[in-house]
Structure 1
Amino acid sequence: MATFHYNLNGCAIKKRVTGKKHIYSTSLTYRPNRKPKPAAISHHIKCVYIRPEGWIPPFLIPAYGSAEGHGGLVFHMALLNEDLTGLAKSSLFPLGSFIPIWAAVDQKDHQPLLLLLEECVAATTPELQSASLVYPIITNKGCLADGKTGNSRFLPRYHPSAILLYLQSFKFALGEEVYIHCKLVAWDPEVFDIEKKACHYIKETGEWELLDDPSQSDLCKCCDSSCKPRLKRGVDSGILRHFISSLTKL
C-alpha cells in the first residue's frame, strides 16, 4: 500500500464551496510509461469537509465594489469565480453559464444585519436612465424572477450579512457591455415580511421558496402578483433600514 501526503492547496487540487461543505477534488494517475502511452491507473479523489462555524470566504476585500449607504453602512458587491473561492478573473460569461454574484454589508458595531437584494436589473448603461435597455432579474421586493424563466437561484448563506446570487447568463443586448444594478437592503434577521425577503423559484416543486426559512415560504406567494403590504411599517418600529444602489459590470 502506498501513502501520499499533499497539501490541499497543491497537486492541482480543486476547491469548491457549496452550501455547508468545502469540497477538494483531484485525480491520482499512475503512468509507468511516458506519454502518449495511456495511464495504467487513474483514480478520482474527493475530500469533503463541513464548513467551520462562522467561516467567511477569503475574498472579502473591503475596498472592492463598495459603496456607503444611509447611516454609514458599507456595502460590497462583486463577481466571483465558478468555485466561489475568489473574485472572478474575467467578466465574460458564455450564454447559459452561471454568474456568481456576491453582495455583503459590513456588520461593524451594528446590531445583527440580514442583507437582502430588493431589486436587480441588467442594463446597458452604468447609470440607470429612462433610455436604458433593462432586463429584470429580481423584482417585487426580493423575488428572483429570472429563476422562473431560467435556472437562477440563491445559494445557501454563509453569513446573514452576505448573499450569493447564482445568476444564469441570458441573451440580452448582444455586443454591448452589461451592468447589474441592485438595491441592497440591510434588515433585521429575525423579521421577514412580503417586502423584506429573498425568494427563489424551485422548479422541482413548482413553488416559490424563502431562502432563509422555507417554513415561511407563504411570504413568497405574492411573487406571482404584487408584494404590497396592507399596512406600512412605521419608522419608529425599531427595525433598522438602509438602502443603497450598487452595480457590478459583466
Structure 2
Amino acid sequence: GRDRDRGWDRDQDRGKEQGWSKSKDKDKDEDRETRTRTGTGTQGPWFAPGRRRTLRRRAAVSVTCGHAWLAVVVPAGFLGSRVASGELTLGSGCGVTTADGDGYWLKHLLVGCGTTLELLPDSIHYSNVLHYRPLAGGPVARARPFSLPVDCYYPRTGSVSSGAIQPTWVPFGSTVAHRRRLRFALDVYDSTWSSRLHQPTYSLGELINIEASLSTDPRLSLRVFVDECVASPSTAAWLEYKVIADNGCLLDGQLGRSRFLPQRGDRFLRFQLDTFLFPNASGSQIYLRCRLKAVAEGAGSTSGKACSYDPVAAAWHSHDGANCSCCGSPAGCGGRRRRRLTGSGGKRTPSVGSTSPTGGLPVPSGA
C-alpha cells in the first residue's frame, strides 16, 4: 500500500508538470487568478478591443476582446502533448475556427456561442466558458477534461441617458424631433432630367418632370417619399386638385399619364405629371404643394410607398414592390380624413409655382 501511495504522489507531480493538479491546487490557482483580474476594486479591469490577456498563467491560454467578437487562443501543446482541434469548444459548441502549428483559434461573435451579457454600473460584461474534452484514445487517459471562464469587459461610454455624452452624429430619434436636420427639396427638371428649371412653361400634352430629394446624415438609412401633392390655381385659392394622396398614391394617373419612375437611390424620387389646367380659374398658372417625408429603410409599412396606376392592367403597382392595394380601396389608406399640409417630425411641405404666359402651364422649381 505504501508503494502505491508513493507511486500516486509521483503521478501527481508529473500531472502538475503537464498542466493539471488536484482540485485543491486548482481552487488555489483560480483564487489567485481572480485576485489578479479584479485587483482591489469590485469590477473587472478594462480590456480595450484588440488587447490580449492570459486566462491562466499555467495554461497559457489567452483571449482577445474585439469590438464585436472574442478570440480564444490555445497553444498546441499547452498540456504537454498536442491537442486535437475537436477537443476544444467555446460555450454552446462553437469549435476551432483556425489552426496552425502554434495553436488553435476560436474566434466567434460576442452575441453567439451562448455568451451571456451583464450590464454593470460602469461596464458591459460578456462571459463564456472554454471547454476541453479529451477524446478517448485507449484504456488510459493522458489528460483530464476541464473548463476555463472567458470574460470580456467594455466601458459603457455610449449611454444615451447621460447628459455629458456628445455623439459625433445625430441619432435618428433626434433627427425626427428636429425637422431642420432633414433637408427636403422639390425640383422641376427638363425633358432629359439633365438640368433644373427655374421658371418653366408647359403646353397641354407635355409631361412635367419633378424630383423629390432628401439630404441628411449618410449613416441614416432613410428613404424619401411623396406623401401628398395638391395643385391649385394660386397660393390662396380655395379650389384644389389632389394629384397624390393616401401616403403616395398618384391619383392623377387614373386620368392621364402621370406616374412614378424607378428610384435611382433612397434619397431621390422622381415622378411625371401630365399637364392640366383649371378651366374656371382666371390665370393659367399652377401651384403645386407636396408633403415629403423620410421613412426608415425596411419599415415595411404602407405609409411609405410610390404607387402608380396602370390603365392597361387596371391596377396599382410600385417599382419597389410596396403594397398598393389600399390605393384603390374605398376606405383609402388609413382612412380618408382631411390632412393639413404643414409638415411635422420627419415631414415637410415644399411647393412650386410661378406665373407664365397665357396658354401655358407653369410649374417652376421650388422649395
Aligned residues of 2:181 and 2:216 also touching (Cα < 8 A) = no
Q: Residues 90 and 154 (structure 1 numbering): CA distance in 2 closer, same or farther, change over 3 Å?
A: same
Deviation at 1:123, TM superposition (A): 1.4
Give 1:99's aligned residue. Answer: 208
Give 1:140's aligned residue. Answer: 246
Q: Residues 76 and 114 (structure 1 numbering): CA distance in 2 closer, same or farther, change over 3 Å?
A: same
Give 2:331's aligned residue. Answer: 226
The range that moved more, 79-88 or 191-200, is: 191-200
Let me know the Cα RMSD of the aligned residues: 2.1
User: Identity across aligned pairs (percent)?
Assistant: 27
Name the CA distance, whole Å, in 2 between partners of 1:76 and 1:192: 24
Name the CA distance, whole Å, in 2 between partners of 1:246 and 1:123: 14
Name the CA distance, whole Å, in 1 between partners of 2:282 and 2:274: 16
Q: Residues 119 and 89 (structure 1 numbering): CA distance in 2 closer, same or farther, change over 3 Å?
A: closer
Name the CA distance, whole Å, in 2 between partners of 1:144 and 1:78: 18
What secondary structure does 1:190 align onto?
Answer: coil
Q: Confirm whether residue 194 of structure 1 aligns to residue 299 of structure 2.
A: no
* Per-residue Cα deviation, 1:46-99 (whole angstroms, up to 9, x for no partner): xxxxxxxxxxxxxxxxxxxxxxx7151111111100001111264211112100
Name the CA distance, whole Å, in 2 between partners of 1:229 and 1:78: 29
Name the CA distance, whole Å, in 1 between partners of 2:240 and 2:275: 14
Deviation at 1:113, TM superposition (A): 1.3
Among 351, 356, 361, which residue is 1:247 paired with? 351
What secondary structure does 1:125 align onto?
Answer: coil
Q: Which amino acid in the other structure matches residue 140 of structure 1?
A: D
Q: Residues 102 and 199 (structure 1 numbering): CA distance in 2 closer, same or farther, change over 3 Å?
A: same
Aligned residues of 1:75 and 1:106 also touching (Cα < 8 A) = yes
Q: Which amino acid in the other structure matches residue 167 of structure 1?
A: L
What secondary structure does 2:347 align onto?
Answer: strand
Name the CA distance, whole Å, in 2 between partners of 1:221 and 1:174: 38
Q: Residues 150 and 144 (structure 1 numbering): CA distance in 2 closer, same or farther, change over 3 Å?
A: same
Q: Which amino acid in the other structure matches residue 246 of structure 1?
A: P
Name the CA distance, whole Å, in 2 between partners of 1:206 and 1:228: 18
Structure with bigger helix share is 2
Q: Confirm whether residue 152 of structure 1 aligns to residue 258 of structure 2.
A: yes
Q: Confirm whether residue 170 of structure 1 aligns to residue 276 of structure 2.
A: yes
Aligned residues of 2:232 and 2:240 also touching (Cα < 8 A) = yes
Q: Alignment length, in residue pairs?
A: 165
Name the CA distance, whole Å, in 2 between partners of 1:98 and 1:174: 23
Q: Where does structure 1 differ by over 6 angstroms across 4 or more consecutive aligned residues?
A: none
Aligned residues of 1:71 and 1:242 also touching (Cα < 8 A) = no
* Per-residue Cα deviation, 1:103-130 (whole angstroms, up to 9, x for no partner): 100032451211100100111233xx5x
Q: Where does the alignment leave 5 or more consecutive residues of structure 2 unmatched?
A: 1-177, 336-344, 354-362
Aligned residues of 1:79 and 1:87 also touching (Cα < 8 A) = yes
Bigger radius of gyration, 1 or 2? 2
Name the CA distance, whole Å, in 1 between partners of 2:332 and 2:247: 7
Q: Which amino acid in the other structure matches residue 97 of structure 1?
A: E
Deviation at 1:146, TM superposition (A): 0.3
What secondary structure does 1:102 align onto?
Answer: strand
The range that moved more, 203-212 or 148-157, is: 203-212
Aligned residues of 2:229 and 2:288 also touching (Cα < 8 A) = yes
Structure with bigger strand share is 1
What secondary structure does 1:209 align onto?
Answer: strand
Give 1:87's aligned residue. Answer: 196
Aligned residues of 2:249 and 2:327 also touching (Cα < 8 A) = yes
TM-score by length of 2: 0.42
What secondary structure does 1:191 align onto?
Answer: coil
* Per-residue Cα deviation, 1:183-221 (whole angstroms, up to 9, x for no partner): 0010012123222211111122111002322xx4xx211
